[in-house]
Amino acid sequence: MKLANKDGKCCNWRDKGAKGLYFLGAVLFGALGFAAMIHGIILQLNLGFTYGFVGYLIGLLFIGAAKCCKMRMHESCCPDWHMMKD
């Protein structure tokens, strides 16, 4: 069994680019957010810490989205797709 849309195209090829973007977003937001959090703690900037924490959380969301796309059978990743036999 593989996931396919109504045109019969496999779900995997379409999500490869999206998965890459999700990981890129996770790295950017996660790393920058974490760095901003540490910077905020060192300089005792409440605002810097808050921005960093929010950025870090956004990074975690991107990681979640990327993992969701990796699990091909996950319905929320492929809402329009139906199961097809090979």
Q: What is the pLDDT of residues 38-57, one digit of tens each?
A: 777 777 777 767 777 787 77
Q: How far is CA 84 from its chain centroid? A: 26
Q: Which of 77, 67, 65 is nearest to 11 (CA)?
A: 77
- Percent of the chain's residues with pLDDT above 70: 45
Residues 58 and 43: their CA atoms lie apart, in Å, by 23
Domain ranges of the chain: 16-84
| 59 contacts 27 by C-beta, under 8 angstroms | yes
> Is the pLDDT confidence value at 12 over 70?
no
> Is the pLDDT confidence value at 2 over 60?
no
User: Mean pLDDT, the chain, as a whole number?
Assistant: 63
Helix or strand (DSSP H, E) at 45 = none
Selected residue with higher pLDDT from 48 and 1: 48
Selected residue with higher pLDDT from 77 and 24: 24
